[in-house]
Structure 1
Amino acid sequence: MSMRVLYGVSPNDIPAFDTKRLRAEFLVEGLYSPGKIEFAYTHVDRMIVGAACPAAEPLVFGDGVDVGTPLFFTAREMGIANLGAPGRITVDGESFALANRDILYVGRGAGKVTLESDDPADPARFYMNSVPAGRDIPHRLIRQAESKPLDLGEDARANKRRLRMYIHPEVSPSCLLLMGITDLAPGSIWNTMPPHLHERRMEAYCYFDLDVADRVVHLMGRPDETRSLIVANGDVVLSPAWSIHMGAGTGPYAFVWGMTGENQAYTDVDPVSVADLK
């Protein structure tokens, strides 16, 4: 298991950033390494993003050395989404089978977590969001059919999409983590329209199901000082509370969204008119 660290920056620093610096601060690349667990710890609300692609041998974590606690989950909760082929996650002896687009909630106090692929030749791709937690909530598997769907957008504006809430007070409770998956309708390319800010929460986007030749152009920054990130399959964008977030893809794609902050009110957002962006 490896843990890289990102410290977060002020919006006042953005005008001086070149592309290399912008990507280093806000884009997490290379999380999916066969047979390894990769984590990135960000000081933006102390969210950890990570991924695991189990091969022939199971992958195990749970030690808290990288987070300064006896166990990884001594003071944390986590959502684990399977974005690949079927796999299995075992938490302290309790086993959960995850199909594609299922999400497992792991509550505070968990000890040993084991990740496996049903078929090492066609592995699971586990994507993880972990945030600090102040109460104990039981582990729970949320299957895609148990998520809450919201249909958004319209064909005429190329932003029709289905957002599914998984870790959310209306579906499966948590302490501070929100997590879900959004799929775009065929022919639509734009996500998260209209763009917005949520001053009381940060967000992380994991873009997936992109063809190797395709990219998502992710727009970020203050509304009057926007920047772009060119994002490949499996890359994760960190979106601080002060940054807008929206994007458009050159081909079909989906994304996992994870949030944490002061509240879990999904509608606590400040929309920004596209006409006001600079």
Structure 2
Amino acid sequence: MTMDIRYGGNPADIPGYDTERLRAEYLVEGHFAPGAQRFTYTHVDRMIVGGACPTAPLTFGDGADVGTPLFFDAREMGIANLGGPGVVTVDGQRFAMANRDILYVGRGTGSVTLESDDPAAPAWFYMNSVPAGADHPTRLITKAQAKVITMGDAARANVRSLAMYIHPEVAPSCLLLMGITDPAPGSIWNTMPPHLHERRMEAYCYFDMAAQDRVVHLMGRPDQTRHLIVASGDIVLSPAWSIHMGAGTGPYAFVWGMTGENQAYTDVSPVNIADLR
């Protein structure tokens, strides 16, 4: 287990960032290396994002990197499988996970083991972990059990389906929200119109993209926007002060994970597109 650290930043600093600095602060790359599990701890609401691509069983649970005896002593987690079928074992209980299933892992867990059914076509386990002050049972939410809503307008190329997995209406947690968004065929824009949620941060893991395709992820203050060029498997850290919207050069999907003051999904402040700079 490796743990990188990101400290976040003040929005007033963004105008001075070049591409390299912006990517170093807010883009997480290389978390799906075969045979490895890698984590990044951001001081933005203390979320941990992780990726694992097991070719043999990978286990974690030690809390040295988070200052507690065990990793889950004061944390909860969502684990999304974005690859081939696999198994997640939580304190001896095995959960078979197909593509686009998400497992909620509750506070107080001892250890987690990640495995692929076929090492030649491995699972891609993407993880979001946040501090938790309440106990909720570990639970598998399959793709079929997610609550799906559709939004957008084909004429504006932003039709998309949003699947809620770890959400009060589907599977409760302490503070973590997690789900998957898919733009419809022919649509390229996501999260449109852009918005801020002052009381929550968000992380995005883009996936299901062709090797040559990219997503242009727009971030920053509404009057000081910046962009990140994102490949499949890349993760974007989005502070509460930043807008988020993006457009792809080809088909893509992304996992969204949020934490903060509340779990009110509609607690957002829309931004008028004409006001962006």
TM-score, length basis structure 1: 0.99
1:46 Cα deviation after fit: 0.1
1:94 corresponds in structure 2 to 93
SS of alignment partner, residue 155 of structure 2: helix
Is 1:31 the counterpart of 2:43? The answer is no
For residue 144 of structure 2, give the secondary structure of its aligned residue in structure 1: helix
Instruction: State how far apart, in whole Å, the 2-side matches of 1:256 and 1:89 are.
Output: 18
- After superposing on structure 2, the runs of 4+ consecutive aligned residues of structure 1 that deviate more than 6 Å are none
> Does the alignment pair 1:224 with 2:223?
yes
| 2:124 paired residue number | 125
Secondary structure in structure 2 of the residue aligned to 1:204: strand
What is the match of residue 68 of structure 1? 67
Name the residue aligned to 1:246: 245
Extract unaligned runs of 5+ from structure 1: none
SS in 2 for 1:156: helix
Give the Å deviation of 1:177: 0.1
- In 1, distance between residues paired with 2:128 and 2:10? 23
Distance 2:182 2:269 in 1: 23
- Aligned AA for 2:188? I
Q: Deviation per CA, 1:94-149, whole angstroms, max 9, x where unpaired? A: 11010000000000000110000001110000000000000111000000111100
Deviations 1:235-270 (A, max 9, x none): 000000000000000000000000000000000000
Residue 53 (1) aligns with residue 65 (2): no
Q: 1:187 matched to which residue of 2?
A: 186
Output the CA distance in 2 between the equivalents of 1:273 and 1:138.
Answer: 40
d(CA) in 2 for partners of 1:189, 1:26: 22
Per the alignment, residue 214 of structure 1 pairs with: 213
Q: Using the alignment, how far apart are the partners of 2:251 and 2:145 within structure 1?
A: 24
The residue aligned with 1:233 is 232
The whole-number CA distance in structure 2 between the counterparts of 1:113 and 1:47 is 18
CA distance in 2, matches of 1:221, 1:183: 23
Q: Which amino acid aligns with 1:137?
A: H
CA RMSD of aligned residues (A): 0.4
Question: Which amino acid in the other structure matches residue 242 of structure 2?
Answer: S
Per the alignment, residue 20 of structure 1 pairs with 20
Instruction: Work out the CA distance in 2 between the residues paired with 1:147 and 1:240.
Output: 26
Q: Which residue pairs with 1:40 in the alignment?
A: 40
Q: Which residue identity does 2:13 align to in structure 1?
A: D
Q: How many residues align?
A: 277
- Pairwise CA distance, 1:8: 0.7
Per-residue CA shift, 1:35-94, capped at 9, x if unaligned? 111000000000000000000x10000000111100000000000000001000000011
Aligned residue number for residue 154 of structure 1: 153
Superposed CA deviations along residues 152-210 of structure 1, whole A, max 9, x for unmatched, are: 10111111110000000000000000000001111110000010000000000100011
Report the Cα distance in structure 1 between the residues aligned to 2:143 and 2:271, rounded to whole angstroms.
31
Instruction: Give, in whole Å, the separation in 2 of the partners of 1:142 and 1:104.
Output: 6
Tell me the residue number matched to 1:136: 135
Tell me the amino acid that sits aligned with residue 29 of structure 2. E
Q: What is the identity, as a one-letter code, of the residue corresponding to 2:236?
A: V
1:25 aligned counterpart, secondary structure: helix
For residue 12 of structure 1, give the secondary structure of its aligned residue in structure 2.
helix
